[in-house]
């Protein structure tokens, strides 16, 4: 009979928003511990792991169940994740808008929410209950090390809300201690063991084995920004206390606390879904193809489907920030407003890499996604705001190719794949 422990080192690869249910600072505040630091509730981690287990009997076997007839405790115990490198600027606020059932913005329905930023590190623990036979413990260890941790580390499972739009991706490292309680010598070591003491974990941190999911297709696109981009983060500060004269722009490009500019997955998802709607409109296919892939919510009946496609949050690098002051424009006359100046801090040029994960079984919709990628890489699909004046246009990085699974594609090769598919559909019709 063994007692097994895991110490998990969880690093945020993208921002995470794990709500506390409170609305003190924003419309959705993140969960904080007694130190006012972000933490990952054990319930959130356990729920993430449980959702990954496909078989319902295995869910009950490894994570317990509650029914009107009986209640069975989970034999796999999951502890809270404590932040070990927190600083106040690592909590920031993102703006968003409420969407209708077709994922279109609802007028006057803006909201904001807190995030724990990229780079925060959490330490959590998993314990396998010793009151089970050896075969169960072996199966539990195989499940944790061979499936759950690799799936989370690969980004196939993410924490918090907006997980299909780039939020909540974490990388995982782990350490393991196992004690044979049938041996008096090992039993004494177990009694001296303190799970929460770092000195009890004097071994290297291991990386989970590679995770492969044949049901999804991973697309990686190396992009170069052709001009500027404008995904606004509005300034509300009056400037630092020590320098009241320091000017703050009216708005600036969305960025992390370390001033690295980012494009959130929500912006990528909105651009792609909007383009696909237009493509379907002109090809005779119905809106249901977009709803099936990008998700929907029917407000009247609360019927909903989660998005089946996910977009990464991307960080722009090797570009330059510029502050520009200009006249505000009257939207009706198109002329400048007298005395109405505003200042923006925009980001120009730079490179980034977009990752898209989508199901393989999409049929013609998959080829429409490829067509959207072609439009993006040729500067026909813009992302963010001020697109009518040339903002948000991208191209494929020089000497780079698009990765779809294990295959590499030039734009010409991808275009051939799209045309071949369209011709096949037209022939069948």
The topology under which CATH files domain 216-428 is: Alpha-Beta Plaits (3.30.70)
**pLDDT given at position 101:** 57
In percent, the amount of the chain with pLDDT more than 70 equals 90
CB 154 within 8 A of CB 210: yes
123-132, 168-177, 361-370: which is most confident: 168-177
Strand partners for 177: 5
Residue 186 has pLDDT above 60, yes or no: yes
- What is the phi-psi region of residue 154: left when phi exceeds 0, alpha when psi lies from -120 to 50, beta otherwise? alpha
CA dist 49 and 45 (Å) reads 6
What is the tens place of the pLDDT at every residue in 192-239?
899 999 999 989 999 999 888 888 999 999 999 999 998 988 655 544
CB 250 within 8 A of CB 342: yes
- Say which DSSP state 133 is in: -
CA dist 8 and 26 (Å) reads 30
Confidence of residue 121 (pLDDT cuts 50, 70, 90): very high
Return the ∠ at Cα 10 (arms to 9 and 16), rounded to 5°: 165
3-state DSSP call for residue 151?
Answer: helix
| Torsion angle defined by CA atoms of residues 269, 270, 271 and 273, in that order, rounded to the nearest 10 degrees | 80
**pLDDT given at position 413:** 94
Domain spans in the chain, listed from the N-terminal domain onward: 2-200, 216-428
């Amino acid at each position: 009979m063994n007692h097994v422990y895991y110490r998990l080192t969880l690093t945020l690869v993208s921002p995470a928003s794990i709500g506390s249910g409170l609305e003190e600072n924003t419309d959705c505040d993140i969960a904080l511990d007694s130190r006012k630091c972000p933490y990952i509730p054990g319930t959130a981690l356990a729920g993430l792991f449980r959702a990954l287990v496909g078989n319902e009997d295995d869910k009950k076997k490894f994570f317990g169940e509650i029914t009107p007839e009986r209640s069975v405790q989970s034999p796999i115990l999951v502890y809270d994740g404590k932040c070990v490198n927190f600083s106040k600027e690592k909590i920031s606020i993102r703006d968003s808008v409420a969407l209708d059932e077709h994922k279109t913005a609802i007028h006057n329905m803006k909201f904001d929410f807190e995030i724990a930023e990229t780079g925060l590190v959490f330490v959590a623990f998993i314990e396998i209950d010793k009151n089970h036979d050896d075969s169960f413990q072996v199966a539990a260890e195989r499940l944790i090390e061979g499936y759950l941790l690799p799936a989370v580390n690969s980004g196939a499972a993410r924490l918090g809300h907006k997980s299909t739009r780039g939020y909540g991706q974490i990388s995982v490292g782990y350490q393991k201690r196992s004690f044979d309680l049938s041996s008096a010598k090992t039993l004494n070591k177990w009694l001296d063991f303190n799970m929460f003491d770092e000195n009890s974990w004097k071994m290297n941190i291991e990386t989970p084995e590679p995770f492969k999911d044949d049901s999804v297709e991973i697309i990686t696109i190396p992009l170069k920004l052709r001009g500027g981009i404008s995904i606004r983060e509005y300034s509300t500060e009056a400037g630092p206390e020590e320098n009241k004269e320091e000017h703050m722009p009216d708005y600036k490009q969305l960025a992390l606390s370390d001033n690295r500019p980012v494009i959130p997955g929500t912006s990528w998802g909105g651009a792609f879904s909007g383009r696909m709607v237009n493509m379907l409109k002109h090809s005779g296919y119905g809106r249901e193809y977009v709803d099936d892939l990008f998700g929907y919510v029917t407000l009247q009946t609360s019927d909903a489907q989660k998005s089946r496609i996910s977009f990464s949050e991307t960080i722009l690098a090797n570009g330059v920030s510029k502050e520009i002051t200009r006249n505000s424009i009257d939207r009706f006359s198109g002329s400048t407003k007298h005395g109405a100046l505003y200042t923006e801090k925009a980001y120009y040029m730079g490179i980034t890499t977009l990752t898209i994960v989508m199901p393989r079984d999409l049929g013609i919709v998959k080829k429409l996604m490829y067509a959207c990628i072609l439009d993006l890489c040729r500067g026909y699909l813009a992302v963010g705001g001020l697109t009518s004046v040339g903002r948000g246009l991208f191209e494929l990085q020089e000497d780079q190719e698009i990765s779809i699974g294990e295959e590499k594609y030039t734009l010409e090769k991808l275009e051939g794949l799209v045309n071949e598919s369209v011709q096949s559909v037209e022939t069948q019709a």
